[in-house]
Chains A and B, each alone.
Chain A
Amino acid sequence: MENILSIKNLDITFRTNAGNVHAIRGVDFVLPRGKTVALVGESGSGKSVTMKAVTGLLDTNVLINDGKIFYNGIDLLTLSKKDLRRKINGREIAMVFQDPMTSLDPTMTIGEQIMEGMLLHKKISSSDAREKSVELLNLVGISEAERRMKNYPHQLSGGMRQRVVIAVALSCEPKILICDEPTTALDVTVQARILNLIKNVQAEMNLSVIYITHDLGVVAKVADFVNVMYAGKVVEVGTVEEIFYDPRHPYTWGLLSAMPDLETEDDRLYSIPGSPPNLLHEPTGDAFAPRNKFAMKIDERETPPMFKISETHFAATWLLHPDAPKIEMPAELQARLIRSRKAAGYE
């Protein structure tokens, strides 16, 4: 499988008044062409920062210490901001943001906002752009598109606005669509429709999609591959089946069991104790060790490498070392995994 985007050893520091925050500590990431990859993790784990680095949207206090981001053979980090804006953003890589209230301009009609990118990036007449915009609005499921073109964002509901944001993102026929928590602000019924919409558009336009989210239900629905991030590192990566039916990292266990499925009847949810580390003080060893009840002595001293489980499945935990003691995952989660494997027919 060919990778349309690959990130190698990305390392990023934020300079703040309180000191340097080492937010991204060596991230590797690949996006196979035509597939959907999800980045999951809690707030502060570095998932949005990683994707902002791809689109060159990082603030000025951010230092990229190391790493390469390859898109079609070009290292995006070597491009100037101007080149990124002209050649990559919008026309090659487009982004859908979390909050449709703030990512649209309240003073422009939605027609103008969809046409804006096309008129800038492509040699196209405004009547063609208008025609294309109406097509896009139809594609994202907005009825009476002609009339809607003249509407302002405040005249639309939240779900409709997010559809418009998607239409804007798709206007220059990008190859990659990055969705940063695209449905967090929306109701479940609207969420389901928006996710289906992105899926259909993906098939139609042969898009490669990256989802940034903390909602594992969304991940289960859309993703082919999953990257679990913790404290600025990818700690587990695999196909969606491997992550949901055969997770290996204790942090992934915690994330999975913290979200009850509809069959959970235990009296308590298995929860990860404590809270994520403050990267102002960089942790030594495994950053997850203080919250991990399976942590061993070595976790305090040395950062675990990625251990290979299958061709597609890797996890960074010393528990996978051949010398590590055999441990059982929490019983609640085990029961749940058996249940979901059974429902899926996965052995």
Chain B
Amino acid sequence: MSEPLLKVKNLRQHFKISRGFTVKAVNGVSFEIFPGETYGLVGESGSGKTTIGRSIIRLYDPTDGEIFFNRDKISGELSHKIWRRLRKNMQMIFQDPMSSLNPRKKIGDIIGEGLDIHKLYSTRKERNEIIGEILKKVGLSPAHAERYPQQFSGGQRQRVGIARALVMNPKLIIADECISALDVSIQAQVVNLMKDIQHETNCAYLFIAHDLSMVKYISDRIGVLHKGYLVETGTTREIFSNPAHPYTQSLLSAVPQPNPAVEKNRKLISYDAAAANYENRKMRRVNDDHFVLDWQEG
């Protein structure tokens, strides 16, 4: 296999709330993302999936651990040059298309901001052409560049969010619950668009979501998070057909299926989350690319 695009090693992210209280959001998570692949990160709310995305793109300063992106070390103190490289090559699509676009800026300027900062054009005309192209690519029209976010529907705004990420031609896009605020029919449009773009530009996605059927559909590999620990990771096929960790098993047993006969005979696998203790456990190989956090006693 080729060299990984992103390498996260033993990432810890703790937030100090007060003198006596620290939230340990992420506790020693390691995984890799290869060029052009989609890595799905799943887990319940509070499991740390959003925090990981935000630490990787350096919205937070990681407490401990190392992150390598495109051969650059991007954890710790960064030089100006690496900051610029990181900011250009890694982009993020946010969850809520209502609050992630500045209402006082035109769509064209929202998309063009990165171009302006990194001076990726020589003339004003070229800039507007790039923006027009990207708008067409996400299924909007170049004329939309003159409008404001509130003139668009939720699905269209999420397309603007995608265009803003894409215009930089990034190698990695972090998509944090980017479809969960959208209606079902619009979700499918956005997911199709993301897949098309990946075929075309070979960008990689870190797809953070709690909707497991969508994650299964879009991801090549999956990581399952629980309480800030990566409890299992492997190819999508492996995780779904051969889940090893009891938490993964209970999670998969709860995925709703659009089939009444299946749903009505569903057996939930329960998992005592409160009793689970993941401290000082090691990842164990199940096979090939499939690893699971040891959970047995002793």
Contacts and interface: CB of A to CB of B under 8 A. Distances in A.
Nearest to A221: B263
A216 B258 contact: yes
Contacts of B258: 216-217, 219-220, 244, 256, 259, 261, 340
A269 B263 contact: no
Interface stretch (B125-133, B164-172, B189-197): B189-197
Contact of A217 (B195, B217, B257): B257
Interface residues of A, number: 47
Interface in B46-73: none
Contacts of B102: none
Interface stretch (A23-31, A188-196, A296-304): A188-196
Nearest to A196: B268
A258 B217 CA distance: 11
B216 interface: yes
B16 to A, nearest CB: 21
Nearest to B155: A275
A188 B184 contact: no
Interface residues of B, number: 39
Given A187-B45, A269-B191, A258 B185 contact: yes
A288 B237 CA distance: 37
Interface in A294-345: 340, 343-345
B10 interface: no
B185 A187 contact: no
A152 B104 CA distance: 40
Contacts of A188: 44, 210, 212, 251, 254-256
A344 B264 CA distance: 10
B250 interface: yes
B30 interface: no
Nearest to A185: B45
18 contacts: A188-B44, A189-B251, A189-B268, A214-B183, A216-B184, A217-B258, A217-B263, A220-B259, A240-B260, A241-B261, A244-B260, A256-B258, A258-B187, A259-B213, A261-B257, A262-B213, A262-B257, A275-B186
Interface of B: 44-45, 153, 155-156, 183-189, 191-192, 195, 210, 212-214, 216-217, 240, 250-251, 253-264, 266, 268, 271
Q: Closest 3 CB pairs between A and B?
A: A217-B256, A344-B261, A271-B188
